[in-house]
Amino acid sequence: MDIVVLIKFVPDLVEDLEIDASTGLLDRSFLRLMPNELDEHALEQAVILKERHGGRVTVLALDTGDVDEALFTAVAKGADRVIKITGDGFDQGLGSRRIATILRRALSDVRFDLILTGTQAVDDLDGFVGAFLAADLGLPYVGYVTQVAAADGRVVVRKEYPGGLNAEIEVSGPAVLGIQAAERAPRYVVTSKVMEAMKSAKIEEFAVDEVSVENEFAISSMALPESGTHAEMIEGTVPQIAQRLAALLKERGILA
Amino acid sequence: MCGEVCVVVEVLRGEVKDITYIMLAAGRQLAAGLKTKLTALLIGRDVQKLVAQLGAADRIVCVEHADLEEFNPDAYLQVLIAVFEQHAPRLVMFGHTATGTDLACGVAHRLRWPVATACWTFSLGNGTVQCSSLTCGGKLIANGPLPEPSCVVTVMPGGYKAKDGQVHKTPAVETVSAPGLDQVRTRFKQYLEPPAGDVDITKQRILVSVGRGIQNKDNLALAEKLAAALGGVVSGSRPVIDQAWLPTTRLVGKSGKQVKPKLYVAIGISGAPEHLEGVAEAELMLAINTDPKAPIFDVAQYGATCNALELMPLLTENLKR
Amino acid sequence: MSLSTAVVLLGLVASVGLFGYRCWQRMQHLRLGRTAGPFGRWSKRIQGVLVFVGGQTRLLRVPGTGIAHLFIFWGFVLLLPTILQAIIEGLFPDFVLPFFAMFGPLLLVQDIVALAVTVAVLYGLYVRAAVRPERYKGSHQFEGNLVLCFIFTIMATLLCHTGIRQNLGEAHVAAAWQPVAAVVGLPLRGLSPETQEAVSEICWWVHLGVVLVFLTLLPLGKHFHVVTSIVNVLLRNLQPPGRLMPARRDEGAEGAERIEQFSWRQMLDWYSCSECGRCQDVCPAYNSGAPLSPKLLIMGLRAHLFERGQALRASPEDGRSASREATLNKRLVGDVLSEESVWACTTCNACDRECPLFVEHVQPIVDLRRGLLLQQRGDKTLATALESLRRYGNSLGKSDKQRAKWTTGLDFKIKDVRKQPVQTLWFVGDYASYSPALTQVAQATARVFQTAGLDFGLLFDAERNAGNDVRRVGEEGLFELLAQKNIAALQKCQFERIVTTDPHTYNTLKNEYVLTNGHEQPLSAKTPVLHYTELVDELTRDGRLKVLRKLDGAVTYHDPCYLGRYNGIYEAPRRVLRAVGCRVIEMPRNRDRALCCGAGGGRIWMDEGKVKERPAESRVREAAALGVGCMVVACPKDLSMYRDAVKTAGLEGRIVVRDLIELVDEATRANAGSDATAVAKTEAMASSLSAG
């Protein structure tokens, strides 16, 4: 079973985020990027399927700068082919639609039965790469997938709904799956194996020229949420506090 | 439906989900501001009986077919495309959920419309619509205009109150026949019920967590009722697990599990670092602790220093109303 | 040749032959192992044999059985001539060993020694039968009892035979030289000479028989240590205990996934294990109820080496090929040893320290862990910590840019070593830098250094986890990566020495960091590495740090594993405590017997698992039982673990846990009067100290 895994590099939220005064958008100059967590799950799921059914795993990522280590780590985990897609302006944070268009080009000569990617990324604002790519390629898309079982050319996925409910959905033909969680937590590969991969494996490069995308949703401004260092203390009698808290929770849409 | 605000209704196992009402609440405001109508698009099988709950909309467009009984991504997508190819709304609203996010981009791609996701609130001005989304783990707010003539959005809960979308009125219903569904490449097989055994707290959206302040095992029941009312489960900090009031599977903290719930209610927990390590990424934390200097208050967004044992039953009641 | 001579000859040949064969089998298995050595430093090694084997030094730490074994050991050495006499007599009836069988004073010594051995053996049997120490659990107790009985028999028959010889006037020396034998022979005087002769003959045969049978049994079990112990101690590891052997990538596998991936020297260790269980007794994991016993680990490795060695050497045409297959398919970790037991180790080194035969337990466990991580086996929390270490250089998932955030709480600026030279580079460590509860410790340290007028600085964001526990968890490649990054940062700076807060950092910087610019040179050879307790000791002794107010009261001090047991720093912290006015009351388990808090060896990054009593709780109870109000530690992990343990053990209000530097800060800071918090703390400190 040949699987393609798409990895998006997103801002590492361990750092503080700042707004660039001149653009009014996220200041990307000192941003550290890391692979989107759910894409790591997608890779893990792909390797699990490879271990179970054989085949090849191909990883694609846009070159947002400094992606090599993550790609070599993917090789150490079991990826057979890693492709870095290069082009102008990739470090500026592209929208999902644009990324999907770019990926489609890079996939033109890659054979696959399934494309796995994280169901969403932390910085997605204009849709999801997996869903767009599926639409572009004319393939079915199922997201929030937590299990993938393959038998006789058919794939049955487990889709996660709130409250612990799951649904089994059968998918035929090549498809794109948005992974919410792999069957197992993404494996840890020891550093020496990653070093080995750096010496023995090769990252393929695929250059992409100008890509035009119509109907992109564009962000006009960004802001940091107001932050306080101390909890807002709610005063009053116990019944009053209970009322206020209940109202607060409803306001926050927690109970949706 | 042309130029209207259209909410794609979310139904799960015959129940209209709260996100639909939230979208209807937002949709009513937008429709009013744009001086257009609010339509609810209801897809399924035998769903006409739900129409009475969708009174916030001006009219319902209903598409029914046996194959649409349970959510089936490819089938629903084909239905939506068929419907929207006939009528292009100004805005198409999906819930930012397991069902909505399967469909939004497919619709946007096929119909060549822009899509804005994870929208929290919308605003109107000079006939333009803006959306505001929380992104990057809640660390950043992004704003952008929703272009004309048509735009797709996915909506997160929180910006609007579900009750504002619940109107008791039966709107006009228009039935549309489903397109041919023989080329559908996904098929719903079955539901898998959640296991009755112990819960995996890392997968819970809502946790009511108890610490030593709960004083004894019998008071745990208060926390469990509160958790049930919130739709979550009970977890605990170290002293509680050590006393075996809760199994180790419920431990939150350095030696326990790392949880990332939407809501974390910390009852009688002081906020020792070993515990906080386990819940560093809670989106919203409420803390109840009689000690106003408890470190938990440096991390929680809201807090109170009242007696938790008195508060819990009252809060549970309030939530049920 | 008479019949009896023939029998003796046959017995001798059979016994020696079987003994030799069994030894040879085991040596063949050693050849499966990887290379070891070179050894060198022979004079030190020989000295070790004299002290540790001759003097039985480590055994004497458990006095009762230690003394018993001393007698048994020296007994055998001194009585060897009598055994030789017996054997040669059997072949050449009138032979008398020159000198050894004739020299009165020697015979007197042997006579008394035989009594001592008998008493020792009876004591040993008593301990096994009545006292039943915990440390024997899991050992081959039947074998232990059997051998004690053998030795008793050998002594009894010797004394009896000699006693009768005296009765019959056939002794080689006057009875006065062999008083014990005389006493043994006394009750037999009443028998007729023929009867006595017969009894004597029987004694002799039994004596010889037991010796020959014992010889054949030696290689089979724990008594093989009789053969290997001297070599084992001779070839003991002379490296500092805090220096692990690097992973052997050139030989293929990084760790030990199969038994033959250990070195022959490690295998020799396992053959030398006498199953005494002293390691098990001091193991914090074992005593907390975790499934790890260092003794059972070694015994398991030894048994598996034998079965796998046999299976590998057997030819496929042998019958029983199914069982051979099954043996060869056994997973070292999984079937022979449990994964849980391999991960349960805190690498505290108590086992290695206690072992009378210098068997190493920590190194094989690290080798096994290296193999496990390579196979991606290890718990999820550990994987998260390792990912964080690899990405951010700390295990707490925090940005490297936040490392020095704790300095903002100080009212003075600390020098940046990256930008200016300093005399003392302060390597703070992850926990003291990032953990909010430990910020006070880092700040107190900075104040003390500042008060002493020390010229010090930090690496700020360039500091990474030093890698001590990363290495002990088995992620050798990550250890190397972290060390590389730290060394690269250090090499860009100018400083004369390094001081660390965390003993784990101290251990690895001092013992394991190697500079490789041109030729390999240990970092500590170029720049001295100190723990802060050593530095503060120095500063208080030469007067640079003045104690302005004495903290009156009794405290107890816990020796951190990586400061005390691993690196021998016991007195410096105690001197500092006395210098600030505290009276130090020792816990029963102190210095190299200190009980590990349980956080080392990466345990702090793993799921706790089932415990019946956490080592940290046991330790704080031990401290509280002294009646002191304060337990002083000198390691950030100890501080976290023990503070937590005080709560979970329900000892809040009875004892507080403080870091040594906090006490020093309170005793030396200039403006304690103007800082209300500090005064409140000092008062609380004084009252808690005086509770003792």
Count of Cβ atoms closer than 10 Å to residue C253 Cβ: 16
Which is it for the CA torsion C487, C492, C496, C499, positive or negative? negative
pLDDT surpassing 50 at residue C675: no
Residues 8-47 of chain B whose Cβ lies under 8 A from any Cβ of chain A:
12, 17-19, 22
Q: How confident is the model at residue C601 (pLDDT cuts 50, 70, 90)?
A: very high
pLDDT surpassing 70 at residue C648: yes
pLDDT surpassing 90 at residue C520: no
Least CA distance to B258: which residue of chain C?
C381
Q: How many CA atoms lie within 13 A of A57 on its CB side?
A: 26
Contacts of residue C607 in chain B, CB cutoff 8 Å?
A: 255
Distance in angstroms (rounded) separating the CA atoms of residues C632 and C662? 9
- Give B7's contacts (C-beta < 8 A, 6+ positions apart): B20, B23, B24, B27, B38, B39, B40, B41, B57, B93
Q: How confident is the model at residue C644 (pLDDT cuts 50, 70, 90)?
A: confident
One-letter identity of residue B274? E
Please report which helix (H) or strand (E) contains residue C451, including its range: helix C439-451
Q: How far apart are the CA of A121 and the nearest CA of chain C, in angstroms?
A: 19
Q: Report the relative pairing of strands B186-192 and A166-172 from DSSP bridges.
A: antiparallel
Contacts of residue B255 in chain C, CB cutoff 8 Å?
A: 607-608
Find out whether B96 and B156 touch, Cβ atoms under 8 Å: yes
pLDDT surpassing 90 at residue C639: yes
Average pLDDT, rounded, for chain B: 89
The residue among C288, C647, C677 with the most chain B CBs within 10 A of its CB, best to mutate, is C647
For residue B307 the two structure tokens come to: 């007696």
The residue among C607, C614, C642, C646 with the most chain B CBs within 10 A of its CB, best to mutate, is C607
Torsion of CA A102, A105, A110, A114, to 10 degrees: 50
Please report which helix (H) or strand (E) contains residue C26, including its range: helix C3-30
For residue C571 the two structure tokens come to: 């007195």
Q: Is C437 on the interface with B (CB under 8 A)?
A: yes
Q: Chains with 3 or more CB pairs closer than 8 angstroms to B? A: A, C
Q: Count Cβ–Cβ pairs < 8 Å, chain A vs chain C.
A: 45
pLDDT surpassing 60 at residue C673: no
pLDDT surpassing 60 at residue B255: no
Q: Per residue, what are the HEC states of chain A?
A: CCEEEEECEEECCCCCCCECCCCCCECCCCCCEEECHHHHHHHHHHHHHHHHHCCCEEEEEECCCCCHHHHHHHHHHCCCEEEEEECCCHHHCCCHHHHHHHHHHHCCCCCCCEEEEECCCCCCCCCCHHHHHHHHHCCCEEEEEEEEEEECCEEEEEEECHHHCEEEEEEECCEEEEECCCCCCCCCCCHHHHHHHHHHCCEEEEECCCCCCCCCCCCCEEECCCCCCCCEECCCCHHHHHHHHHHHHHHCCCCC
Partner-chain contact C383 A190, CB within 8 Å: no
Please classify residue C609 by burial: count the beta carbons closer than 10 Å to its beta carbon, then call 0-12 exposed, 13-18 middle and 19+ buried: middle
Q: How confident is the model at residue C671 (pLDDT cuts 50, 70, 90)?
A: confident
Partner-chain contact C475 A185, CB within 8 Å: no
Of B136, B190, B206, the CB nearest to A168: B190
Higher pLDDT, A17 or C333: C333
Q: What is the pLDDT of residues A64-77, one digit of tens each?
A: 988 999 999 999 99
User: Which one, of A165, A177, A134, lies nearest residue A46 by Cα?
Assistant: A177
Q: How far apart are the CA of C77 and the nearest CA of chain A, in angstroms?
A: 51
Residue C530, Ramachandran bin (φ over 0: left; ψ between -120 and 50: alpha; else beta) = beta
pLDDT surpassing 50 at residue C676: no
Q: What is the pLDDT of residue C143?
A: 93
Q: What is the pLDDT of residues C425-465, one digit of tens each?
A: 999 999 999 987 788 899 999 999 999 999 999 999 999 99
Contacts of residue A169 in chain B, CB cutoff 8 Å?
A: 72-73, 186-189
Count of Cβ atoms closer than 10 Å to residue A149 Cβ: 14
Of A188, A191, A192, the CB nearest to C376: A188
Contacts of residue A51 in chain C, CB cutoff 8 Å?
A: none
Q: How far apart are the CA of B55 and the nearest CA of chain A, in angstroms?
A: 18
User: What are the two backbone dihedrals, phi and then psi, of residue A137, each rounded to the nearest 5 degrees?
Assistant: -85, -5
Query: Cα B105 to chain center, whole Å?
Result: 19
Please classify residue A51 by burial: count the beta carbons closer than 10 Å to its beta carbon, then call 0-12 exposed, 13-18 middle and 19+ buried: exposed
Contacts of residue C396 in chain B, CB cutoff 8 Å?
A: 277
Torsion of CA C392, C427, C382, B299, to 10 degrees: -70
Average pLDDT, rounded, for chain C: 92
Q: What is the pLDDT of residue A47?
A: 98
Higher pLDDT, A156 or B296: A156
Partner-chain contact C435 B273, CB within 8 Å: yes
Q: Is B149 on the interface with A (CB under 8 A)?
A: no
Q: What is the pLDDT of residues C539-578, one digit of tens each?
A: 999 999 999 999 989 999 999 999 999 999 999 999 999 9
Least CA distance to A13: which residue of chain C?
C399
Q: What is the pLDDT of residue B194?
A: 66
Q: Report the relative pairing of strands B59-64 and B172-177 from DSSP bridges.
A: parallel
Lowest mean pLDDT among B43-57, C119-133, C240-254, C369-383: C240-254
Least CA distance to C392: which residue of chain A?
A14
pLDDT surpassing 60 at residue A43: yes
Q: What is the pLDDT of residue B103?
A: 97
Q: What is the pLDDT of residue A252?
A: 82
Cα angle, residue C655 at apex, residues C653 and C657 outer, rounded to 5° = 120
Q: What is the pLDDT of residues A214-235, one digit of tens each?
A: 889 999 999 987 644 688 899 8
Q: How confident is the model at residue C409 (pLDDT cuts 50, 70, 90)?
A: confident
Higher pLDDT, A35 or B244: A35
- Give A159's contacts (C-beta < 8 A, 6+ positions apart): A142, A143, A144, A145, A146, A166, A167, A168, A169, B98
Cα angle, residue B209 at apex, residues B203 and B214 outer, rounded to 5° = 155
Please classify residue C107 by burial: count the beta carbons closer than 10 Å to its beta carbon, then call 0-12 exposed, 13-18 middle and 19+ buried: buried
Please report which helix (H) or strand (E) contains residue C27, including its range: helix C3-30
Q: How confident is the model at residue C319 (pLDDT cuts 50, 70, 90)?
A: low
Q: What is the pLDDT of residue B213?
A: 81
Partner-chain contact B194 A165, CB within 8 Å: yes
Q: How far apart are the CA of B274 and the nearest CA of chain C, in angstroms?
A: 9
Contacts of residue B263 in chain A, CB cutoff 8 Å?
A: 249, 252, 254
Higher pLDDT, B119 or C684: B119
Q: What is the pLDDT of residue A60?
A: 98
As separate numbers, helices (DSSP H) first and strands (DSSP E) second, chain B gives 7, 17
Q: How confident is the model at residue B139 (pLDDT cuts 50, 70, 90)?
A: confident
Q: What is the pLDDT of residues C180-203, one digit of tens each?
A: 999 999 999 988 999 999 999 999
Contacts of residue B160 in chain A, CB cutoff 8 Å?
A: 253
The DSSP letter of residue B67 is G
Residues 21-50 of chain A whose Cβ lies under 8 A from any Cβ of chain C:
32, 34
Of B98, B108, B137, the CB nearest to A159: B98
Query: Cα C489 to chain center, whole Å?
Result: 34
Which span out of A128-137, B132-141, C98-107 was modeled with the highest average pLDDT? A128-137
- Whether residue B149 is preceded by a cis peptide bond, meaning omega within 30 degrees of 0, is yes
Distance in angstroms (rounded) separating the CA atoms of residues A210 and A199? 32
Name the CA radius of gyration of chain B, rounded. Answer: 22
Partner-chain contact B273 C644, CB within 8 Å: no
Please report which helix (H) or strand (E) contains residue C657, including its range: strand C656-659
Find out whether A75 and A81 touch, Cβ atoms under 8 Å: no
Distance in angstroms (rounded) separating the CA atoms of residues C104 and C111? 10
Of A15, A32, A191, the CB nearest to C390: A191
Q: How far apart are the CA of A107 and the nearest CA of chain B, in angstroms?
A: 18
The DSSP letter of residue B321 is -
Q: What is the pLDDT of residues A158-175, one digit of tens each?
A: 998 865 678 999 999 899
ipTM value of the model? 0.87
Q: How far apart are the CA of B77 and the nearest CA of chain A, in angstroms?
A: 9
Q: What is the pLDDT of residue C161?
A: 92
Distance in angstroms (rounded) separating the CA atoms of residues C12 and C18? 10
Q: What is the pLDDT of residue C650?
A: 85
Of B116, B141, B317, the CB nearest to A126: B116
Q: How confident is the model at residue C687 (pLDDT cuts 50, 70, 90)?
A: low
The residue among B92, B107, B109, B307 with the most chain A CBs within 10 A of its CB, best to mutate, is B109
Q: Chains with 3 or more CB pairs closer than 8 angstroms to C? A: A, B
